[in-house]
Structure 1
Amino acid sequence: MRKVKTETEKTVQLLLHTGIKHFATYGYNKASLERMVTESGLTRGALYHHFKNKKGLFLACIKLIQMRIANKIEQEASTSSDPWEQLWLGCRAFVASTIEPEHKQIILIDGPAVIGWNEWRELDANYSMKLLYSQLEMMQKNGCFPSISLEALTHSLSGAMNESALWIAEQGSYELIDESMYVLKAYFDGLKRIK
């Protein structure tokens, strides 16, 4: 039984790896399931068994990328013990990870169009926004800023970061991360001044 489970997991991971590569390279509309299964050495039947269709595979790829981004945020934020720096590092990690070539086509460009805006926002809320809310909640409890709405603050910062990532991806210039983070730091400085 364990061997079957291991083989199944290997098949799923191979399909996800190949799916991410193809969706990132060709975009959702031009990505071919036939090319994916040929490259992975699997059959269409295996893909349909695990993901039902192209959209199912794409959705699973988005979830995997969201988990990767969330892990990167936590990893970067944990390099500091200062809560403001943790927030800044986590936000920077989100923007930088989202615009990575393997991520931006799937997360920023095709994601909202293919799975729908509401589902895309729900996934964002379950991964990156959840981490952001948790960090802000901890900071507020420790007196870093006054009792303002954490929901409003989380959505505002998340929106700023998503828009920054879209803008940077459209411009194709990674140097713009520094400009975006400078503006985000101004938000944080303003938050520190609220009494």
Structure 2
Amino acid sequence: MERPGVRARQREQTRRTLLREAERLFAERGYAAVGLAELVSAAGVTKGALYHHFPGGKADLFRAVLAEVQRQVGDRVAAAAEARTDAWEQLVAGCEEFLAAATAPGTERVMLVDGPAVLGWAEWRAMDEAASARHLGEALTALVEAGRIAPQPVAPLVHLLSGAMNEAALWLASAASGPEDLAATTAALRRMLRALRAD
């Protein structure tokens, strides 16, 4: 007789496989171009298994993929920030890493293009805020409290910086930009951030 722990591990393995294959396909071709049959075939599971883990089907699976991609980007941003000891340099390093991570092949399509298109602006914005804007707000609040940024409401800064970085990431990932533009955009971001400094 199969033990409950074995079944739980098998279910989790099925879920992880679905997420991995869906992330790969959505990143390569985009949400609209990937069908349900292709998703279950790539993962080697049945449609019933997919609906067991993601009752809303393809849209629920995409939502989970987006959350995973946002987590991966967040991990990269946190690692870049934590490699610095100065709070200001942590902010700058985190913002720069966001641009690099968000423009990685496939990430931009899932996170910035298909995310708001598939889930709608309000849900995508809520996920984005939970994944990254909250951390940006915490970093800016700490810098205001330390006197490194002039006293001011933090929420407008969070939305302005988050919007600017998302837009820059979309442009960097588009055909309109070239390989040299990441460095130029990063330099522009540094100048924009420097203007916030009070010291």
TM bucket normalised to smaller:
over 0.9
Query: Which residue does the alignment assign to 1:120?
Result: 124
Q: How far apart are the structure 2 equivalents of 1:174 and 1:10?
A: 38
% identity of equivalent residues: 35
User: Shift of the alpha carbon at 1:6?
Assistant: 1.6
Instruction: Name the aligned partner's letter for residue 80 of structure 1.
Output: R
Q: What's the TM-score once normalised by structure 2's chain length?
A: 0.92
User: Shift of the alpha carbon at 1:10?
Assistant: 1.0
Calculate the aligned-residue CA RMSD, in Å: 1.4
Q: How far apart are the structure 2 equivalents of 1:173 and 1:20?
A: 25
Of 156, 162, 166, which residue of structure 2 is paired with 1:162? Answer: 166
Distance verdict in 2 for CA 1:193–1:143, change over 3 Å: closer
Do residues 183 (structure 1) and 188 (structure 2) align?
A: yes
Of 91, 97, 102, which residue of structure 1 is paired with 2:95? Answer: 91
Between 175-184 and 50-59, the greater mean CA deviation after superposition: 175-184
Instruction: Name the aligned partner's letter for residue 105 of structure 1.
Output: R
User: Shift of the alpha carbon at 1:29?
Assistant: 0.9
Residues 152-173 of structure 1: CA deviation (Å, up to 9, x unaligned) = 1111110110010011011353
Q: From the two aligned structures, give the one with the greater helix fraction.
A: 1
Query: Which residue does the alignment assign to 2:147?
Result: 143
Query: Which residue does the alignment assign to 2:136?
Result: 132
Q: How far apart are the structure 2 equivalents of 1:32 and 1:73?
A: 32
Q: What's the TM-score once normalised by structure 1's chain length?
A: 0.94
Distance verdict in 2 for CA 1:174–1:49, change over 3 Å: farther
Give the number of equivalent residue pairs.
194
Q: How far apart are the structure 2 equivalents of 1:114 and 1:30?
A: 12
Query: Which residue does the alignment assign to 2:38?
Result: 35
Query: Which residue does the alignment assign to 1:76?
Result: 80
CA contact (8 A) 2:74 2:131 kept: yes
